[in-house]
Structure 1
Amino acid sequence: MALHLYNTLSGKIEEFRPLEDNEVRMYACGLTVYDYGHIGNFRTFIAIDVLHRFLVQSGYQVRHVMNITDVDDKIIRNSSRAAIPVKEYTAKFERAFLEDTITVNIEQPIFVRATDHIQEMAKFIAELESKGFAYRTEDGSYYFRIAKFPNYGKLSKRDFAGMEDGARVDVDEYEKDNARDFALWKSPKPGEAFWDTPIGRGRPGWHIECSVMSMETLGESFDLHAGGEDLIFPHHENEIAQSEALTGKPFAHFWFHARFLLVEGEKMSKSLGNFFTLRDLVLKGHKPSSIRYLLSSVPYRNQLNFTFDGLKQAATSVERLRNFWLRLTAANFSEGATATIVQLALETVQRMKSALEDDLNTAQAQAAIFDMVRKANAAIDNGEIRKDDVAPLLAAMDKFEEIFAVLKDDDVPKMKSILEWAKSAGREQDISNELLEIVQS
């Protein structure tokens, strides 16, 4: 069986076939650095990381690019309110995001920053205008002419044919019912950041950023584009329109979207008091490995209900796996091999592979490794494990670790780093006794 993934573009699970036999080019929408990354963000980023890791494990050469949005409406608004230059405002959140990806063992992609590609964005817009897909308004802004792109709506499965020609929306985020010609370039308002370009003074719209950065780094057509389900419309729909209008070629062939999570059965919201950044959880004393395990435990297209009981169970699961690893490597087994144990290890590797090939069914992959651990622990207790059984069991654990990345016990130094950050950021009141006990043990 080959890897099969749900493709949002077709609305079906399809066999994943890269455009080039042994190479996968994938682009993921990363964090908009107006704040620290929350657990919903990291549910998506970890799902994308699992995909990246499994593609590598399957033998592909993977070029994985992830953007950092460091200019958009929210950033402009917040930096203006704080009276801080955009670059200075975003720098600390960008740095924290990169640190957080390491904290939860995300295999590092190629990061690209929006503000490093402003001139390329202006050139892209000028070319769209020359083809009749973009137009300039009196204030110097540019908009994409949706009516000229007949396939608009093919990703979000909406028919926009009856939309009023020339109606415009100038904000980055909006609902499907408010679909209008969207902003490619925004003329500056008093006090706002801007860039001087051949198309005028201003800043890019959010959607143009990813079209330009993905095509600059991966080419006009590439294999897979990933992000959270909230990006399907308008962001990814608009990316397709801009990109395919310019090139006349298919943009991304697969579209991979991770579903939202709930927190204790409710939508995550600051107003409900259930909004948590990754750093919030560590300050409460939860290990990064437990967080990663829980966020990867439910298949990416299913809704994950994040609970603190679930996080405790995840910690127990990780500890059980680590203890089994230590038990295998520390014990002195007698010579020989047990055919049933060797077969168990081989079957476990195949079960994990089959589960992940089935639209990244992480729950089934985790179930397979725990089934092996349970049976192997029982065999150790009964004196049925031999020296030559250890290598295939460890090989199965290695295959698991290549994807889930929770077995290495490096939580404490990561937690110490966040503890020091909290002290420097004036968040001493958020440091829990549980965190202090872990880092001081």
Structure 2
Amino acid sequence: MTVIDLGADWAVEPAQPTLPRRGSTVRAAAAVCGVLLACTMTAAAPAPEPRLTELARWAEPQALLLATAGADTLLVHTPAGVTAYDAADGRRRWSLPGSTDWVHDVGDVLVLGFSRLENTSAQPQFAYADAVAVDRSTGRVRWRAEAYLEQVAGMLVSFSGNPERPVAQVHDPATFALRWRVAAARSFVVDRWGSAVWELAADGGLVERELATGAVRRSARVRLPGGTRVAVLASRDAIGIVGYRFDAGGIEEHAEVLWYDRADLAATGAENRWAWEADCGAGTSCAYPYDNGPPYLVDSATGAPIRPLEGSSHVGSPAGLLLFDDGGEPGTEIRARLEPAGHRARTDVAGWRVLSMTGQVARILGHEDGDPFATHVAELTADGLRPLGREPHGLVQCASVPRAMACTTKAGEVVIWRIGEERP
């Protein structure tokens, strides 16, 4: 194993000794002795202990994507297949051939969606994949299916048919056994906030069902909006029903949306109704509305809006929301971060790039330096940047688990490192 040196860049420069003034020989001698003692103590001080220990390095010029599964597995995707590596020692665990479109990590099971030939049908359809479920540690295949799958609250939900009127079924991720299916031709929505499915029953009543079993939790009759058809929506605190109609040009558009409080299904307002929320670190979420309004940074606990979000890509961190130069995409240089408390702009991460993210939360940053060239690597924590080490090549992307990370380099390599504990 190779230990990556943190380099002199992370060391604190010793203070320059002050020359003694002219005076008595005793004072001069004492000053010189003090300087020598200070220099000796500085020289004896231990250098910062490196936190990155190289576990594996190999040439992989076709690496497309790095990912993680659980807290113990690193995945390397190439056009030819996907390979899993043990995060503890960097050893290869298993490999499967084929190009992957998506990965669902469900407990001990890893479900991979392998690409199929592009559908040439003119009708709207779901993007089916050859789904293969394997044991995360051994790679043993548990089941296969041709399906479009979404992971919700520990379950797998398959969708088929017309996307506007889909057929939905809930499956056990370990075996793909059918748990239950949503009644055909009914409007429904999978509720990620409540681990439920909401549907409009045949008699027009609104029904909430347990996602895992399909058992009815409650039902109520509510007023429906006007329109040629209706659909159900789910948000953090409310359930909505939207009506659609055709305009003069034959284009379908929203006619009206009615919202009902999740707690008692009483009519409620339309403010701050998010279609999707993603963890953005530091107790915040990036929330995306159903309407054409701007996305917002919100309090994860209460849903209260904090501030509107700019641009189309948003990256959070344990140290606050990251802002990029020229509103650029992640991968461009960071301009600043917003403090979690007070949301003031701080520039201590300016010039760094995001190398790894979990969802929309950045963890590993890189900063390139010349003479000699190196990429400095740091972990972004709630307390700010924490140095990890440096790599003599440019780094393209990384994936990290709590105690390990894998990166691709501009030299066409993949490197796996163990991340050591930070010493106080």
TM-score, normalised on structure 2? 0.27
Q: Which has the higher contact order (CA 8 A, sep 6+)?
A: 1
**Structure showing the higher strand proportion among its residues:** 2
Task: Calculate the TM-score normalised by the size of structure 1.
Answer: 0.26
Higher-helix-fraction structure: 1
